[in-house]
Amino acid sequence: MKRLLTAALALSTFLGLYAQEAVPAQPSHEPAFPELTDWSTAMQEAQTAGKPIFVDAYTDWCGWCKVMDKKTFSLPAVKSYMTDNMVCYRLDMEHNKASHNLRLAYGINAFPTFVILSPNGELMGKLVGYSDSAEWMNSLTEFLAADHPDRPGFPKLAPISWPADIQAYADSDFETRPDAEKMASILAKAEQGSFLWMVIAQNFPTVLTPNDHSYLIDEQAWLGTQYGSDIAEDVLKNVMMRRLYAMSKTASEAEFEEAIQDYLVTFPDDSMTATSMKVRFYKEKGLWSKLVDVLAEQTDANMINSLSWAVYQSCDDSKQLQRATDICGSYIAAQVDAGYAIRDTYAHLLMKTEQWEEAEHQGRKAIELAEASGEDPKETRELLQEIKVKREAVQRAD
C-alpha cells in the first residue's frame, strides 16, 4: 500500500491492465461505514470527537472497492480500530454531489482511494489501492502515527467556486469531460502553482504546455511546501505518465526510449511504471519479441499474468506465443499456490497454441481454484467450450 500513485496502480487503473481483473465475487452486504451526505455534519462530528475524518472514496463499478469493504473494513478488529481513531464514512465518487469538491481538489481518479482529513477538513493524506487486513492495519497505523505536512495551497473543501466548465464536468458526475481548448484557456489564465492550476494539472494533465511541464519539475520543492511533497510528486508523475501514454501511439522507438529515461531520471525508484509503459509501446507497435523479453524478466505473478494476457489477446506470432506460454507455465509449475487468474491465462495461451489436452486440464484446475476462492470462473467455462469446438473442427478437417 502506498500513499502515492503506485506503479501497480498506474498499470492497472491509469493505463488499464491487459489481464482480466480477478476480483473475487462479493455477495451483497451491509457496508462497514455510513454514506457521507453532508460535509458540515461530518466535520461537526469529527470536531466533537477530536478525530480525523476517514473517507472511503469508491465507485459502483470498482470490484476491489467492494472487496476492501467486505474483507478488510468489515472485520471486527479493523472496523473497531478505525472507528476508535477516526470518524469513518464511505462516499460514492460518481453519484453523490458531496464528492465533487473532494474529487476535483485532490485529483482522485483511481479507486479505491482513501482520504484522511483533519477534524477541520484539511487534507492529511491519501492511501490508494486494495490491501488485505494485515497490510491495511500496518499502513493505517503508520499513517496515523506520522506527522503530516501543512498544505496551505488547498482551500477548505466547501464551498469552492469552480469555473463554469469544471463545474459542469462535476455536475455531469464526471462523465462529460470539458472541451480541451476551453480547459487550456482556463489554464492559461491561472497562475502557475495556484490551486486552480494544480486542479487542472491533476484532472486534465493533457492540456499542460511544455512550459508547465518544466515548471512542475523545477518547482517540486516549492509545490511541496504548498500542497505536500506527496501531492506535488503525484501530479508530476501523472503528467509524465500521460506524456508517455500519448507517445506510445506516435513516437519512434528511439524517441520513446529517451522519454522513458527522462522518467527514470525523475523517478529512479519507479522502474515498474517504466516497464509498463514499455510494454504498452511494444504492444502498440507489435514488437512482440521485445514484449516477451520483458515478460521473461518478471517474477511477480500479477505482472506475468498481465503480460501473458496481452500476448494472448493480440499476438499472432507463433514463436512468441509459445515463448509466453512456456514462461507462464514455468511460473505455475514453480508456484504451488498459483492462483485462478494466472492459471486461466495459461489455459487461454495453451488453447491458442493448440495444446488442447493441457489447455483443458489447466482450465479445469482454474475453475476448481475459482470455486474454492469465491471467484467467478465464467470465462474459463467459456474457454473449455471453445476448446471443445476447436478440437472437433480440427478432427473433422483431418
Model confidence at 123, pLDDT cuts 50, 70, 90, reads very high
Model confidence at 100, pLDDT cuts 50, 70, 90, reads very high
What pLDDT was estimated at residue 20? Answer: 43
Measured in whole angstroms, how far is the alpha carbon of residue 332 from the centre of its chain? 25
What pLDDT was estimated at residue 223? Answer: 98
DSSP labels for 71-86?
IIITSHHHHHHHHHHS
DSSP labels for 290-355?
HHHHHHHT---HHHHHHHHHHHHHH---HHHHHHHHHHHHHHHHH-TT--HHHHHHHHHHHHHTT-
What pLDDT was estimated at residue 27? Answer: 52
What pLDDT was estimated at residue 114? Answer: 98
- Its pTM stands at 0.80
Model confidence at 13, pLDDT cuts 50, 70, 90, reads very low
Terminal CA-to-CA distance of the chain, rounded, Å? 54
How large is the average pLDDT for residues 64-79? 95
How large is the average pLDDT for residues 46-71? 95
Pairwise CA distance, residues 161 & 163, whole Å = 7
Are 91 and 147 spatial neighbours (Cβ–Cβ below 8 Å)? no
- Number of other CB atoms surrounding residue 15 within 10 Å: 18
Please state which of the ranges 68-72, 195-199, 238-242, 388-392 shows the lowest mean pLDDT: 388-392
What pLDDT was estimated at residue 387? Answer: 92
Pairwise CA distance, residues 392 & 51, whole Å = 65
Pairwise CA distance, residues 344 & 359, whole Å = 9
**pLDDT tens-digit readout, 156-190:** 887 899 999 999 999 999 999 999 999 999 999 99
What pLDDT was estimated at residue 24? Answer: 53
How large is the average pLDDT for residues 20-37? 73
- Average pLDDT for the chain: 90
Domain boundaries, the chain: 7-160, 179-285, 288-397
Q: Which has more confidence, 250 or 397?
A: 250
Counting Cβ atoms within 10 Å, is residue 190 exposed (0-12), middle (13-18) or buried (19+)? middle
How large is the average pLDDT for residues 256-268? 95
Please state which of the ranges 5-9, 142-146, 204-208, 342-346 shows the lowest mean pLDDT: 5-9
What pLDDT was estimated at residue 373? Answer: 83
- Portion of the chain with pLDDT greater than 90, in percent: 83
Do the domains at 7-160 and 288-397 have one common CATH topology? Answer: no
Question: What kind and span of H or E run contains 114?
Answer: strand 113-117
Q: Which residue has the cell 497562475?
A: 191
Are 94 and 60 spatial neighbours (Cβ–Cβ below 8 Å)? yes
How large is the average pLDDT for residues 290-308? 94
Are 362 and 350 spatial neighbours (Cβ–Cβ below 8 Å)? yes
Q: Which has more confidence, 196 or 4?
A: 196
For residue 19, pLDDT beyond 50: no
Class of domain 7-160: alpha beta
Are 256 and 281 spatial neighbours (Cβ–Cβ below 8 Å)? yes
Model confidence at 16, pLDDT cuts 50, 70, 90, reads very low
**pLDDT tens-digit readout, 329-380:** 999 999 988 899 999 999 999 999 999 999 999 999 999 999 998 888 999 9
Strand-pairing partners, residue 128, are 2, 113
What pLDDT was estimated at residue 21? Answer: 47
- Number of other CB atoms surrounding residue 76 within 10 Å: 7
- Number of other CB atoms surrounding residue 241 within 10 Å: 23
CATH topology of domain 288-397: 1.25.40
